[in-house]
Amino acid sequence: MKMGEETVSKKVSVVFLLQNVADKNDISTDMKTAYQCCVDQDISPDWITNEECFKMKPKKTDIFVIEEFKGKAFSFLKDFKIISPRCLMTCLMERRPIPNIPSPLFTIAMVDIIVTASGFSKDQKKTLGDKIGLMGGIYLNPFNASVTHLIANAVGSQKYKVAAERGIPIMSEDWVNAVWEAGLKENVNASDPQFASYKLPAFKGLLICASQISKAEKQKVMKVITENGGRYSPQLECKETNVLVIGDPSGTKYIFAKKWDIPCVTPQWVFDSASHGYSLPFDGYIPGEEVEAKCSTPKLGGNPGVLPDFSMCSTIVGEQTHLHVNDTISSEISAIPEQHTPKKKN
């Protein structure tokens, strides 16, 4: 039998496992159809029961067709080539090679796709990697030149920046689940246009504030941010706000953004990022240098922990988890503990 490049010079045996039934007449429609596909292409598959499976001495050239990827028989055969009946049907009907990867194959929806991830826990990455492998894809922890897709839960990480620079698609984790579900019903590829909606929104995970722009422009900025996965807040919050959108580099929010190391960008950054489909680098969108006469940083005197009394500025003091500035609220400012530079995303 020949199945594409993998089996050009290899004689392989196709073995169907009667997993939860005693007789092949009781098998599912998928198993029957896959078996018939083999027969139609002059392949002579065999049938074995669970009990017979444990008596076998499988060879590397054996291909086991299993419907449910669980149970003792599945675990026993895991070191050998395991595919689902749907995967076998797809390869035979489309004359495609069976992917030569170590993972059991449920579908081939992610063949030729190499994925890395950012922003997830170790367990979450393992879950993603396992499911990607079941669809014929490859998951890598490091980001190298072979990566074709990045899965992220928020924008701004180093992997995100590299992927954006290289034009590599940046997807949400829902993409993997959507491809999986679709692949159970029909033959799909993870790069199909139907999955384009699972690209990570340009402002996913960002809390953005705006200042020194007109009310009309602020409404536009708010709309674009929220429509593209971000959150807008009228307050500037230390350790919470990720970006300050500012039309003119002046004013209370700008002073505190600089003090708290919050990136400041022009409104055009919002519109261009949304247009490109990902969060653009801040370079090129940095507002001009502030005019000293318009907005000079006040002298703090001998006590660096006490800020001067600005109008339209509100803070939370004591054992607070964050500090904030709100252009719409007028209150006195009190002592603020020494600030720490917010942690950057990995």
Tell me the CATH number of domain 114-198, given options 3.40.50.10190, 3.30.70.260, 3.40.1410.10, 3.40.50.800. Answer: 3.40.50.10190
Q: For residues 246-264, give the mean pLDDT.
A: 96
Contacts of 293 (CB under 8 A, 6+ apart): none
**Per-residue CA distances from 39 to 11, 28, 43, 92, 218 (Å):** 16, 17, 5, 11, 66
Q: Which residue has the tokens 């027969």?
A: 39
The CATH class for the domain spanning 207-326 reads: alpha beta
4-93 and 207-326: identical CATH topology: yes
Residue 66 has pLDDT above 60, yes or no: yes
CA angle, corner 48, sides to 46 and 54, nearest 5?
Answer: 130
Element (H, E) at 236: strand 235-237
Residue 323 pLDDT: 60
- Map residue 140 onto helix, strand or coil: coil
Sheet with 114-118, edge to edge strand ranges: 138-139, 114-118, 149-152, 170-171
pLDDT band at 288 (very low <50, low <70, confident <90, very high): confident
Q: In this predicted model, which residue has the larger pLDDT, 174 or 25?
A: 174
CATH architecture of 4-93: 3-Layer(aba) Sandwich (3.40)
Domains of the chain, by residue range, sit at 4-93, 114-198, 207-326
Structure tokens given for 292:
């000293």
Residue 20 pLDDT: 79
Nearest C-alpha neighbor of 62 from the set 53, 70, 71: 53
Nearest C-alpha neighbor of 109 from the set 86, 92, 76: 86
Residue 331 has pLDDT above 50, yes or no: no
- Map residue 86 onto helix, strand or coil: helix
